[in-house]
Amino acid sequence: MRFRFLFIQMLFALGVAGRLLGAALTDELSPEQLSAVDAGSQVVIREDLPDQPWPRVRVYQRVHASPEEVAAVFFDYEKAKSYIPDVLDSQISKRHSPRVFEVDYKVEVPILPDEMYTARNEIEMLQPDSYRISWRVLKALQTKAAVGNLCIERYGDGESLICYTNLVTPGSSVVVLLKNLAMERMEKIVASIALESEKQKTQAPLDLTRQIEILRAALSAGTPFNPSADYP
């Protein structure tokens, strides 16, 4: 019993206990923060971590689209270049399974050369109306490491609450100077995901239907991904 208590304490210290124990995204927010979400504002939480030059960032936002619709739009990785700010290109370079892809991105960076990196993306349906897309950068020109996820949950009738979490370790002292710009970019990414999901729902329902069919096929196919066996 004592070991279990200490284990849960450790999970909370790492910031992952809520999701492992099945808590909703709303449980992570204060009443004031939930009021901001209800009003249509983003809630941004920056958490400083030991030995990390940049904080871990969490951005919450309400979306006027269902969790499945948001997940389907984001899962269409090659379309990211058409709506996410500063993404110049996004191409799937490798498929490990129907739910695990490697995606090559090219991103415009002020002052410095454009960043090019490969991320390994995995999508999961945690439970009905609850999805998580996780990513980890495998190689990059200027980024030492990056890991994060997009969690999507039902929030009212036909709506979602999304939480974008990202922890980036820059690869040089020069990139560290762009910290504030990078933090602002994460907020813009979340706003763009929400806007694109809502736009697809109202302006391109046939495209959205196709994206949902692809998502459902991916989630229903194959065996669960085993990160301990496949991750480097």
Looking at CATH, the fold of the domain delimited by 25-221 is given as Alpha-D-Glucose-1,6-Bisphosphate; Chain A, domain 4 (3.30.530)
For the chain, domain boundaries = 25-221
Q: Which residue has the higher pLDDT, 118 or 10?
A: 118
Can you tell me whether residue 39 is helix, strand or coil?
coil
The answer to whether 224 touches 130, Cβ cutoff 8 Å, is no
Mean pLDDT of 87-105: 97
Averaged confidence pLDDT in the chain: 87
Q: What is the pLDDT of residue 110?
A: 81
pLDDT value of position 131: 98
What is the pTM for the complete model shown? 0.84
pLDDT, position 231: 36
State residue 178's pLDDT score.
77
Classified as helix, coil or strand, 124 is strand
Percent of the chain whose pLDDT exceeds 70? 83
pLDDT of residue 173: 64
